[in-house]
């Protein structure tokens, strides 16, 4: 993937797909609770940002940041 990025600590992978951004915890031991905590943190971080419509856990188990119009 051309725009695939990882955080400096390698803990998270970020994969933009159009105006959706997929965030994955890179640990093979990540739990549902870890993803729920990450979703809450990202939701708090992007609260009030007019470019972000929604932050949610998608069916694949990763976090999706929706920036569609």
Query: In which domain, by residue range, is 13 found?
Result: 5-66
Can you give the pLDDT at residue 69? 85
Whole-model pTM: value is: 0.88
Residue 49 DSSP label: -
Number of residues assigned to the chain: 69
- Number of structural domains in the chain: 1
Can you give the pLDDT at residue 59? 87
Residues 6 or more apart whose CB falls under 8 angstroms from that of 54 comprise: 64, 65, 66
Can you give the pLDDT at residue 1? 59
Query: For every one of its 69 residues, what pLDDT tens digit does the chain have, with 9 covering 90 and above?
Result: 578 999 999 999 999 999 999 999 999 999 999 999 999 999 999 999 999 999 999 988 899 999 998
């Amino acid at each position: 993937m051309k725009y695939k990025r990882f955080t400096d600590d390698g803990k998270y992978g970020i994969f933009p797909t159009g105006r959706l951004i997929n965030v994955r915890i890179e640990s093979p031991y990540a739990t549902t609770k870890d993803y729920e905590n990450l979703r809450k943190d990202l939701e708090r971080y992007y609260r009030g940002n007019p470019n972000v419509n929604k932050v949610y856990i998608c069916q694949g188990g990763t976090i999706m940041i929706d920036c569609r119009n």
